[in-house]
């Protein structure tokens, strides 16, 4: 199974906001630069994240994006559901089956795929953005202080 770049970049972007925001809105251009993600693609991803209530935005010169909840209340699973939808390893486990399978009602493997998707999501729901921030600190990843918060004397 492969996740799309939309999910991978979504997790990285939400982590970036939590790690570098210092409680202030973060501009999308700064996130895009640090995470090496296209500015335009990030805007598309942020629409999904806003719709899911994971991030919010503030307009104006001191505006940008910020988390709508604390980092310990947002999980990797939340972000994946916002960007990908429910985890469906194979088409036949979907509640909105588009293709029909002749063995759908009598398939011995269907419950395996359904359970695997549920366990994967269970695991991803156990990892919070706060945990990713702690991991980044352990790894020695530098925080970038937003330019508007720097003071020079």
Task: Calculate mean pLDDT across residues 50-58.
Answer: 96
The pLDDT, as a whole number, for residue 91 is 67
- Mean pLDDT across 9-22: 96
Residue 44 has a pLDDT of 96
Phi, psi for residue 67 in degrees, rounded to 5? -75, 140
pLDDT at 77: 95
User: How far, rounded to the nearest angstrom, does the alpha carbon of residue 88 sit from its chain's CA centroid?
Assistant: 17
pLDDT at 110 over 90: no
* The predicted structure's pLDDT at residue 62: 81
Rounded Cα distance between 76 and 11, Å, is 6
Instruction: Return the structure tokens found at 137.
Output: 């600190």
Residue bearing tokens 């296209």: 38
pLDDT in tens, 112-123: 888 888 898 999
Handedness of CA 134, 135, 138, 144 (dihedral sign): negative
In this structure, what token pair is assigned to residue 18? 């939590």
Read off the pTM.
0.85
Mean pLDDT of 28-55: 96
Considering the domain 5-143, what is its CATH architecture?
Orthogonal Bundle (1.10)
The residues with which 58 forms a beta bridge, in sequence order, are 64
Residue 6: both structure tokens together: 């939309």
CA distance 143 to 136: 9
How far apart are alpha carbons 137 and 143 in whole angstroms? Answer: 9
User: What pLDDT score does 2 carry?
Assistant: 72
Token pair 């720097």 in the structure block, residue? 150
- Tell me how far apart the alpha carbons of residues 43 and 131 are, in angstroms, rounded to a whole number: 25
DSSP 129-149: HHHHHHHHHHHTPPP---GGG
């Amino acid at each position: 199974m492969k996740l799309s770049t939309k999910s991978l970049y979504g997790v990285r972007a939400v982590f970036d906001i939590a790690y570098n925001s210092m409680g202030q809105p973060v501009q999308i251009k700064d996130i895009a630069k640090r995470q090496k993600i296209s500015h335009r693609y990030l805007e598309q991803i942020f629409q999904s994240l806003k719709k899911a209530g994971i991030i919010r935005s503030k307009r104006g010169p001191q505006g940008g994006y910020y988390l709508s909840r604390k980092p310990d209340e947002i999980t990797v699973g939340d972000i994946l559901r916002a960007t990908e939808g429910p985890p469906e390893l194979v088409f036949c486990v979907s509640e909105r089956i588009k293709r029909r399978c002749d063995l759908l009602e009598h398939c011995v493997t269907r419950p395996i795929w359904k359970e695997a998707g549920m366990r994967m999501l269970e695991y991803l729901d156990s990892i919070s953005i706060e945990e990713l921030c702690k991991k980044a600190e352990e790894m020695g990843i530098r925080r970038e202080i937003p330019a508007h918060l720097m003071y020079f004397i």
